[in-house]
Every structure is written in structure tokens, then in C-alpha cells.
A and B are shown apart, each in its own frame.
Chain A
Amino acid sequence: MIAARDLRYRYPSGAMALDGLDLDVARGERVAVIGPNGAGKTTLMLHLNGLLHGTGELRVGGQDARTADLRARVGLVFQDPDDQLFMPSVLEDVAFGPLNLGATPDEALMRARAALAAVRMGELGSRAPHQLSLGQRRRVAVAGVLAMEPELLVLDEPSASLDPRTRRELLELLDGLGQTMLVVTHDLPFAAQLCERAVVLSAGRIVADGPCLDVLEDVELLAAHDLEMPAGFDPRALVERAGQLAA
């Protein structure tokens, strides 16, 4: 689904955001991208949707990210839902993407309603975004990209600032989706519960890549890149418990 080779990007200010990044993600995989602030996580995310173009090679869904129109194939969910929800009503916002992709108003309406139902927000379509709680706005932001029926879902800090219950509900919602997923997060327990694989991005390159639990249990690796699990948190126990509950 994603194939990046020696991807490099320097901001106009001179800051090197991606410095020879290599990454492969297979279709259907869920990968957590973890790393310290300023590691290049958001820059990578913007490359995947064709919003930024660096040097090197980047293919998404088999297509060159420089030339292909990736807006329909890659859904970005931004960290602050207020950045993403700009239309006057929830329903219009969720229909924004399908309409831009050429759907008729009727088709867009149908897709928007289905996406809102998928995130359990079907009742709130007529509300204005500022009338929703943060958790509801984040769900609507997810619906806004689901309505575009993307193959790859890229989420930037999806659990940031959510209360525990809303965070759990979002986790359950994402867990039920079938898309390939790249989850950029500082919330390591969230990554452990949602993703089977984790990559550590530091100073613009991938410095570790492996099964999520293995990466999160490597205390020295995490410490070397300003990351740490919450005190006393055992990701393996949590995942086992989740598996037992699901069984």
C-alpha cells in the first residue's frame, strides 16, 4: 500500500523534516508511527496524500505520489478536528469530500449518511460543528474521510485530548474499520491496542520497525527517542485482556 524509498523533505525554513525515510506498509496493515515531537510524523502524513512532495520515491497504492491524484485513495484525519470541519453543518462537511470527487448531491448525501452512521453520529447531521463535543467532532472528522471511501486511513494523534470513555469508543470505532491504517500517535497504549506493527520515526527517518508490542517493550529504544510507556503499564497484558474480552 505504501512504499517509500529514501524520502527526503526540507521545509523552506531549512529544517530537514524527512531525511531518507524508508517504509513499506502492506494492504490491510495497521501501523503505529511513534516518535518525539519534530520527528517528521506530520510531514510524512502530508506526503501520503500528495499535499507535500519530497525527493526520493513514494508510491501509494502502486501509484507515484507525485503524479497520482491520491485524495480519493488516502483519507487524512487531522489532529484538531476544528481544522477539518469547516462546513456549516456536520452533514455538509461529511459530504464535502464526495462532492469534490464528482459525486452527485444524492450520492454524496447517501455516502455522508452512511459514514455518519458508521461513526454513530447519524443523529447529529444537522448540527453545526461548534455545537459538538471534541469527541463528537473527531468522530465526524473520521466520517468526513470515510465518506470518500479511502483505501488508506492516516490519523494524526486521534486520541489527543479525549476523555477515557471517548478515547475507548474511538478505539472501538477504528478497530472495526477495514482500511489500511497509519496511526501517528504519542499515545502508546492506544497504539498497542489498535496496531499490530509500530515504527519509530526520529529525526526524519525510521529507526525501529517491528511488532507493536516488541517495539513498545524496548524501554531503551523508547527512551533514546524521548518516548515512554505510562508507569506500570504492561501493553502485553492489556492486549491479552482485550483478546479475552473479544473471545
Chain B
Amino acid sequence: MSAHALHAVGVAGDPASPVHRLDPRAKLLGLTGVTVVAVSVPASAWPVLAACAGVLAAVAVAARVPARVLATRGAVVLPLLGLLALTLPFRPDDGAVALAAAKALTGTASAVLLGATTSFPDVLHALERLRAPALATTIAALMYRYLFVIAGEARRMRVALKARAYAPRSALQAGAIGRVAVALFLRSHDRGERVHLAMRSRGHAGSLPRLRTLALGRADVAFLAALALALLPLRVALGVAS
């Protein structure tokens, strides 16, 4: 992934919107809840999926996230849908593939909306406060920070290859790419050691301290209640009926 592509997955829409301003925990729980509701419906519960789509559309409108952003970022699920489509000729037409595709699209749209309305560091902060393992969130935070640095190094190495007329015409000439990957790995490993030293030099003792605390407010509770009211009664009713 290039550095440009990394920049393209940040917060989108109106940063001052009511959705953007919600506590990241509310958005994480709410949008994950939409995904859980969607993936758990039985085959006969299309109205629940329609309700999920409606809820997500409402959130996108409130956050003023453009449809183009949803479409381009949501395209990440297309390879999976393609694989599902490949199985169509070998399966009875019982609607299972369409249902799986709808569930995948709903889950992807939820994740895209979370990413468009909440910065990745805020998502990690929310996970920390929701008692996710500190080691996992610290690793994810450092990965996020250094993806940009490593992507920049990879780009410079690719340019250096091209500058020395590297243009493989056969698989036998592709070995240089492997060696570049090894060099990138070694550089990243060395950088990891230096970062660890730099962290210790400023008193790091195991977890990343937070400057800001999160506080759930009325708007957050109202957001979660609205999602629950919109989806749970329908989900429970149709789930029992099936």
C-alpha cells in the first residue's frame, strides 16, 4: 500500500458533524452492533438487513460522508463477493449467496463508516477503554504510525530499482524484488530497535499514556439507543419467527 493510499483511508465527511463528535466508544459499539445484527440474521430475515442498510444510510447522511467515499472504500469487499459469485454455478439457487453478499456488504459499510467518522488512534483509544488487551492496542498504534514510514521507504526503494533500469521481463528476474523485501524487513527491524530505545529514553514503562480521557455523554447514549430501537425489535421478532 502506498503512502498516498494510506492517507486516503482517514476521516472523511464533515469532521464537525454530530456523528464525528460522538465518543469513539459509542461509534465502535454501535456500528459493530449493526454488523453483529446483520450477520446473525437467518435466511428469511431480509427486512432486518434492509433496516441495517437504512440505519447505515442515516448515519452516513448525518456524518455527511459522500457516497463516493463509501463506494471506493467499500470496494475492498469486491474480491470476496467475486469469490462468492464463482460458487454460484455449483450451488442450488436458495438465496444463500445473495444473503452472504448482503451481510458482507453491511459489515463492510459499517467498518467504512466507522473509519470515516473516527480516526484510527481514536478507535484504538476506544478499544483500550473497552478493556481490549493493552499489548494489542499498543502494537496496532505503532503499526499505524510506522506504516507511513515503511510505505515511504518501500516507495524510495522501488524508485531506486527503476533508476537502475530494473524492469523484469521474466519471473527469473524478479529476485531483486525479494531482496528489496528482505532489505525492507531488516531496516524495519533495526528501526524497531531504535524506536524501543527512544521510548525507553523518555520513560516508557509498558503502555502508551493518554493525554485525553473519553466521556460518554447524552448524545452517545441517544445514538446507541436509536440504533438499538431501530434494529433489535425487528431482529428479535424475525429471528424468533424463523
* A residues neighboring B (CB under 8 Å): 46, 49, 51, 71-72, 76, 78, 80, 82-89, 91-92, 95-97, 99-101, 105, 108-109, 112, 128-130, 144-145, 148
Number of A-B contacts (CB under 8 A): 84
Q: Looking across the interface, which residue of chain A has its beta carbon closest to that of B121?
A: A88
Task: Contacts A51-B201, A71-B203, A96-B209 known; list 20 others, CB within 8 Å.
Answer: A71-B200, A78-B197, A78-B201, A80-B191, A80-B194, A82-B191, A83-B195, A83-B198, A86-B199, A88-B120, A95-B209, A96-B202, A99-B209, A99-B211, A101-B203, A105-B212, A128-B145, A130-B148, A130-B149, A148-B202
Partner of B211, one of A46, A91, A144: A91
A95 to B208, CA, bound (A): 11
A83 lies within 8 A of B209 (CB): no
Is B173 interfacial (CB-CB < 8 Å)? no
Tell me which of A72, A128, A148 has the highest count of chain B C-beta atoms within 10 A of its own C-beta. Answer: A128
Q: Kindly identify, within residues 125 to 153 of chain B, every residue whose CB is under 8 Å from any CB belonging to chain A.
A: 141-142, 144-146, 148-149
CB contacts (< 8 Å) of B210 on chain A: these are 92, 99, 105
Q: B185 to chain A: closest CB distance in Å?
A: 17
In the assembled complex, 23 residue pairs joining A and B whose CB atoms fall closer than 8 Å, in A order, are: A51-B197, A51-B201, A71-B202, A78-B201, A80-B194, A82-B191, A83-B191, A84-B198, A86-B146, A86-B199, A87-B141, A87-B145, A88-B120, A88-B121, A95-B209, A96-B204, A96-B209, A97-B203, A100-B202, A100-B204, A130-B3, A130-B148, A144-B202
Partner of A129, one of B145, B191, B199, B201: B145
A145 lies within 8 A of B202 (CB): yes
CB contacts (< 8 Å) of A128 on chain B: these are 145, 148
Q: A84 to chain B: closest CB distance in Å?
A: 4
CB contacts (< 8 Å) of B201 on chain A: these are 49, 51, 71, 76, 78
B203 lies within 8 A of A76 (CB): no
A97 to B198, CA, bound (A): 11
Summarize A's interface: helix, strand, loop or mixed.
helix
CB contacts (< 8 Å) of A112 on chain B: these are 211
User: Interface size class for chain B?
Assistant: 20 to 34
Is B16 interfacial (CB-CB < 8 Å)? no
A72 to B205, CA, bound (A): 14
CB contacts (< 8 Å) of A49 on chain B: these are 201
B209 lies within 8 A of A76 (CB): no
Partner of B145, one of A46, A86, A108, A109: A86
Summarize B's interface: helix, strand, loop or mixed.
helix
Q: Looking across the interface, which residue of chain A has its beta carbon closest to that of B151?
A: A130
CB contacts (< 8 Å) of B194 on chain A: these are 78, 80, 83
Q: B39 to chain A: closest CB distance in Å?
A: 30
Q: Looking across the interface, which residue of chain A has its beta carbon closest to that of B204?
A: A100
A86 lies within 8 A of B195 (CB): yes
CB contacts (< 8 Å) of B149 on chain A: these are 82, 130
B198 lies within 8 A of A86 (CB): yes
Q: Kindly identify, within residues 194 to 226 of chain B, every residue whose CB is under 8 Å from any CB belonging to chain A.
A: 194-195, 197-205, 208-213
CB contacts (< 8 Å) of B209 on chain A: these are 95-96, 99-100, 108
A105 lies within 8 A of B211 (CB): yes
Known contacts A88-B144, A89-B121, A100-B204; A76/B198 CB under 8 A: yes
CB contacts (< 8 Å) of B145 on chain A: these are 85-88, 128-130
B191 lies within 8 A of A108 (CB): no
Q: Looking across the interface, which residue of chain B has its beta carbon closest to that of A100?
A: B203
CB contacts (< 8 Å) of B148 on chain A: these are 128, 130
CB contacts (< 8 Å) of A109 on chain B: these are 211
Q: B201 to chain A: closest CB distance in Å?
A: 4
CB contacts (< 8 Å) of B144 on chain A: these are 88
A99 to B197, CA, bound (A): 17
CB contacts (< 8 Å) of B205 on chain A: these are 100
CB contacts (< 8 Å) of A82 on chain B: these are 146, 149, 191
Q: Looking across the interface, which residue of chain B has its beta carbon closest to that of A144?
A: B202
Q: Shortest 6 CB-CB distances between A and B: which pairs?
A: A100-B203, A88-B121, A99-B209, A130-B148, A97-B202, A83-B194
A87 lies within 8 A of B208 (CB): yes
A84 to B197, CA, bound (A): 9
A108 lies within 8 A of B211 (CB): yes
CB contacts (< 8 Å) of A80 on chain B: these are 191, 194
